[in-house]
A = this chain, B = another copy of it.
Amino acid sequence: MASIKITPEPTIRRLPKYVHLLTILKHKGVKSVSSTMIAESLELDSTLVRKDIEATGIVGRPKTGFLVDKLIMALREHLNWNNEDDAFLIGAGSLGAAILGYKGFRECGLNIVAAFDNNPAKIGTVIKNVPVLDYTKLEEHCRRMHIHIGIITVPAPVAQQTADALIRGGVRAIWNFSPTQIATPQWVVVEYAQLTMSLAVLKRKLRETELTDNSIQETK
């Protein structure tokens, strides 16, 4: 019976923070770190940090904590950052270009090898060292290069058909930057990266603090 311990999403979201903090500590020459210390730096509960670390399989030592080096490696391994995945990006607009230009994804095991667009003026050009290819050839290229990750940065109305093409090409995971829901078979992982979501949280919380600070009362 297969038994992969699936990691809770809230945990996964915290892990990159740990990697970042630990990397800074490592550069400072720190050799070991306790969950207490991590928790204080990141304003979390220390038990929560220990639980999260548990997911990586690393065990610590009383009084000392965890070895920074080993912990970083285990976290990166758990997040699969040590295995580089090639990916295609579809939609070479301003958002697409920004993503192509961001160097940090390499560090997370993501290598964008080509972009696709249906604009003839863009096809054949190179953006941030990444070639822009013809959208109509997307499926074919996916299959030929065994691409497993597709990044969707096309306008909302064409997001679904883009996803369909990727899936026909054999893609297993889609990072969707369009605001639209896309329907996929269950074996395809879809992660929504929507800044509006994050902005919504920011603006709502700002309002909530404003309202509570001023002690305004809402009806009912």
A4 interface residue (CB < 8 Å to B): yes
Nearest B residue to A194 by beta-carbon distance?
A: B16
Contacts of A7 in B (CB 8 A): 204, 208
Q: Are A207 and B80 in contact (CB under 8 A)?
A: yes
Contacts of A43 in B (CB 8 A): 181, 183
Give the number of chain A interface residues (Cβ < 8 Å): 77
A209 to B186, CA, bound (A): 10
Q: A41 with B181: in contact, given A172-B210, A209-B172 (CB under 8 Å)?
A: yes
Q: Are B104 and A196 in contact (CB under 8 A)?
A: yes
Interface residues of A (CB under 8 A from B): 1-7, 9, 12-13, 15-17, 20-21, 41-43, 57, 78-81, 85, 94-95, 97-99, 101-102, 104-105, 108-110, 148-149, 156, 172-173, 175, 179-181, 183, 187, 189, 191-218, 220
A218 to B78, CA, bound (A): 12
A165 to B212, CA, bound (A): 25
Q: Are A200 and B110 in contact (CB under 8 A)?
A: no
Q: Are A4 and B102 in contact (CB under 8 A)?
A: no
Nearest B residue to A193 by beta-carbon distance?
A: B198
Contacts of A57 in B (CB 8 A): 220
A-B contact pairs, 22 of them (CB 8 A): A2-B211, A2-B214, A5-B218, A12-B200, A13-B200, A16-B194, A16-B197, A20-B156, A79-B203, A94-B98, A102-B195, A105-B195, A148-B206, A172-B210, A173-B202, A175-B198, A187-B213, A189-B202, A189-B206, A191-B198, A191-B199, A193-B195
* Pairs A-B, 9 closest by C-beta atoms: A98-B98, A191-B202, A2-B215, A173-B206, A193-B198, A94-B101, A189-B205, A80-B207, A4-B211
